[in-house]
Structure 1
Amino acid sequence: MASSADRPGDDRPPAKREPTRDEFVTVSNTPEFAQLRKNFRGFAFPLTAAFLVWYFLFVILSSYATDFMSRPFIGNITVGIFLGLLQFVTTFLLTALYIRHANKNLDPLAGELRSRLEGEQR
């Protein structure tokens, strides 16, 4: 009986070698892994902090600045509704920025490290 890799039309990648614990530790101590971690943290931590400040500002304004939040902004749309909708816009924007950052700065380096662990040649 033919294996799944021998069947025509089978798009599954061939099975990868399973790295050992020691290999993971070795790779985690490389300068490339340190750079990957630095690239992730340098982007994710500041943007997470900025979004949390923005979110809690909205919550605090909603709780304590009700007069401000209930002011008309455009027609029947109040400042509170507008800022609430901006929360969604901000979430989508941050997601798009993270995807762009990951594709450019994280995925190539992570793929290189993964290939090294799995024994592939690139």
Structure 2
Amino acid sequence: MSTVGERSTRTVYEEVQDSAEFADLRSRLRRFVFPMSAAFLVWYLAYVLLASYARDFMAIKVAGNINVGLVIGLLQFVTTFAITTIYVRYANRHLDPAAERLRLRVEGHRAEGHRVEGHRPEGRR
């Protein structure tokens, strides 16, 4: 940290990363991603274990040549699309607005002429 009268050497990105808004955004993302990923992995592992150790169950005919194993396998794809749809809705409502506020904050610093490490104004190399 700098003292009074000294110019801060922190970049706007470091300031944003240390902000409560960024911590909240990261927390919201993790609260969604980790449980959803764990649930899907358990669901997929259950399918693999059933296919390996419950062959009689997976071979049960549902209709014609369609068996339980095929239905559960196809539900894996349905689950993937459902999770994607749920994530997009969640992100649109809870993540994107917060990320947009942080982006505007960073761009506001740029417009004010603050130092942004790694950023070169257009036309300069």
Which category of TM-score, normalised to the shorter sequence, fits these structures? 0.7 to 0.9
Residue of structure 1 in register with 2:69 after alignment:
80
Unaligned runs of 5+ in 2: 1-8, 112-125
What displacement does 1:119 show?
1.5
1:29-56 Cα deviation digits (max 9, x unpaired): 1111011011100011000000000001
C-alpha distance 30-92 of structure 1, shift in aligned 2 (>3 A): same
Letter in 2 for 1:74: A
Secondary structure of the structure 2 residue equivalent to 1:35: helix
Match of 1:44, SS state, is helix
2:34 counterpart of 1:45 = yes
Distance in structure 2 (CA, Å) of the matches to 1:105 and 1:32: 12
- Using the size of structure 1 for normalisation, the TM-score is 0.79
Q: Which runs of 4+ in 1 moved over 2 A?
A: none
Tell me what 1:4 maps to.
none
Alignment of 1:69 onto 2:58: yes
Letter of the structure 2 residue corresponding to residue 43 of structure 1? F
- Matched pairs, number: 102
Percent identity between the two aligned chains: 54
1:99 alignment partner in structure 2? 88
Specify which of 14, 26, 49 is matched with residue 15 of structure 2.
Answer: 26
